[in-house]
């Protein structure tokens, strides 16, 4: 549960009262909120910040960087994630790939089809179960591996500019936790039937 200093205080303790009744207006509430935040050691700016806003900005610029960097190959930012996963574990099924990247099966099939059309991957039926397609990298994708790796390292260095090694490790650890929280929450909604 997210901490809220307001949950810790009863509205009846609101400090602005006229004789016999509570006076609540925007000015009084803001003064009370500022005092409460000062007492709790938080800033108003911090309370009004949305972590989603910053993730959104990073995601947008990440997609722009990838798209621009790999445009000469016809690879979109979305397809790059699939190639990256296959560089780590070549020859896995589309379902495993979708699960590995936390991406739905339809998007996975569309991206794999595009990469196959571009000649970066091939699909072969599994010998154990012919209904399952295994995805393999081609020689063409192997030839651009080092360029992809170095281009993405440059982007990571740009994002981490001014961070110490300890700060980088802490940030990575916290982002993994945030990611796990998001995946767990949405997975729980889907299992429960909520949208």
Specify the 3-state DSSP secondary structure of 93. strand
Q: Is the pTM of this model over 0.85?
A: no
For the CA atoms of 6, 9, 10, 13, the dihedral, rounded to the nearest 10 degrees, stands at -120
Q: Which two tokens stand for residue 84?
A: 């990256």
**In the chain, where are the structural domains located?**
5-48, 74-159, 161-195
pLDDT value at residue 193: 60
Contact 121, 112 (CB under 8 A): yes
Tell me, what's the pLDDT at 43? 55
| Residue 12, token pair as written in the block | 């009846």
Residues in the chain: 195
Q: What are 28's two structure tokens?
A: 């009084």
CATH topology (fold) of 74-159: Arc Repressor Mutant, subunit A (1.10.10)
**pLDDT per residue rounded down to tens, the chain (195 residues):** 343 344 443 333 444 444 444 444 445 555 555 565 566 555 545 555 678 888 999 999 999 999 999 999 999 998 999 999 999 999 999 999 999 998 999 999 999 999 999 999 999 998 898 889 899 999 999 999 999 999 999 999 999 999 999 999 999 999 999 989 988 888 888 787 654
CA angle 179, 184, 185 (to 5 degrees): 100
What pLDDT shows up at residue 74? 94
């Amino acid at each position: 549960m997210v901490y809220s200093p307001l949950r810790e205080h009863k509205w009846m303790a609101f400090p602005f009262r006229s004789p016999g009744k509570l006076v609540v207006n925007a000015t009084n509430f803001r003064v009370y909120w500022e005092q409460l935040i000062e007492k709790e050691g938080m800033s108003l700016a911090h309370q009004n910040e949305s972590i989603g806003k910053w993730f959104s900005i990073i995601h947008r610029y990440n997609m722009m960087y990838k798209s621009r960097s790999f445009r000469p190959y016809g690879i979109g930012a979305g397809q790059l994630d699939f190639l990256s996963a296959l560089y780590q574990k070549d020859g896995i099924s589309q379902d495993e790939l979708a699960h590995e990247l936390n991406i739905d099966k339809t998007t996975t099939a569309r991206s794999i089809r595009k990469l196959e059309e571009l000649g970066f991957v091939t699909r072969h039926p599994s010998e154990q179960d012919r209904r399952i397609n295994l995805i393999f990298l081609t020689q063409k994708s192997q030839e651009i591996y080092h360029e992809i790796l170095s281009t993405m390292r440059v982007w990571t260095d740009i994002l981490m500019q001014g961070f110490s090694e300890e700060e980088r490790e802490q940030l990575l650890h916290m982002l993994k936790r945030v990611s796990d929280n998001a995946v767990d929450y949405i997975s729980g909604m889907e299992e429960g039937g909520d949208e």
